């Protein structure tokens, strides 16, 4: 039975990934309520004490959400520097820490899956959104791919490190937004969490003997236009 650590375990994707994986694996979930993943001492101490994981799945991070107006949870920043610090602290530095200390202390670790976004590869289509997505959110996702590639070249002989760049999950978005978005997805629908299960199974298995440093795109063809 594989032992898998999932960060962002209480998130939209994290909860469903854990429910799926726990059927055949031993799963340990981390979220912002039990650890600050951007605090180096906390992350270091956690991995010192918990150093027998086979795989790490990084699903945590600061996000932007398109939700109903009465449920708007978009953050408001005082200035650009505050916005930059928020996204890069939570999406870049935190990923650096979890990758670094998983590799350092989990001597038998076999793989890391870092989740970024299709916006780690392309710019958002601004016409789809009522308000443009935050530039620092987008650029922080580009940086996640860079972290993966850096660590994969440093430690590829002992561990496979890859990124999944997925599109947004069908959730509570307004129907008007969904219609505009789906027009740009060749599959004709938004993503579901279960669309991720197959690739996660592969990356967390002995079948993956050579995929390392890759950015795997799951977007229904959105980035193919």
pLDDT digits (tens, 9 = 90+) for 164-180: 999 989 998 999 999 99
13 to each of 41, 78, 134, 156, how far by Cα in Å? 27, 29, 21, 27
pLDDT digits (tens, 9 = 90+) for 79-109: 999 999 999 999 999 999 999 999 999 999 9
User: Look-up: residue for tokens 């002992």?
Assistant: 158
Bridge partners, residue 166, by sequence: 218
Its CATH class, for the domain covering 3-224, is: alpha beta
The residues near 151 (Cβ < 8 Å, ≥ 6 apart) are 99, 100, 103, 112, 161
Separation of alpha carbons 176 and 156, rounded Å: 44
3-state class (DSSP) for residue 164? strand
> How many Cα atoms sit within 13 Å of 105 on the Cβ side?
18
pLDDT digits (tens, 9 = 90+) for 110-136: 999 999 999 999 999 999 999 999 999
- Asked whether the beta carbons of 148 and 170 are under 8 A apart, the reply is no
């Amino acid at each position: 039975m594989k032992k898998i650590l999932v960060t962002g375990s209480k998130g939209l994707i994290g909860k469903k990934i854990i429910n799926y994986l726990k059927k055949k694996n031993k799963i340990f979930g981390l979220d912002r309520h039990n650890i600050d993943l951007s605090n180096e001492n906390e992350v270091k101490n956690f991995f010192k004490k918990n150093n027998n994981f086979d795989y790490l799945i990084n699903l945590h991070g600061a996000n932007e959400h398109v939700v109903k107006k009465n449920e708007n949870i978009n953050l408001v920043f005082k200035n650009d520097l505050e916005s930059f610090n928020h996204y890069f602290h939570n999406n870049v530095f935190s990923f650096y820490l979890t990758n670094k200390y998983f590799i350092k202390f989990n001597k038998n670790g076999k793989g890391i899956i870092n989740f970024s976004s299709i916006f780690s590869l392309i710019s958002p289509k601004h016409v789809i959104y009522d308000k443009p997505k935050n530039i620092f959110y987008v650029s922080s996702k580009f940086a996640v791919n860079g972290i993966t590639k850096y660590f994969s070249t440093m430690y590829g002989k002992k561990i496979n490190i890859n990124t999944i760049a997925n599109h947004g999950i069908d959730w509570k978005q307004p129907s008007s937004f969904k219609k505009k978005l789906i027009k740009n997805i060749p599959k004709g629908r938004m993503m579901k969490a279960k669309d991720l299960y197959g690739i996660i199974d592969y990356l967390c298995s002995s079948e993956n003997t050579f995929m390392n440093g890759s950015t795997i795109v799951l977007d229904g063809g959105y980035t193919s236009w």
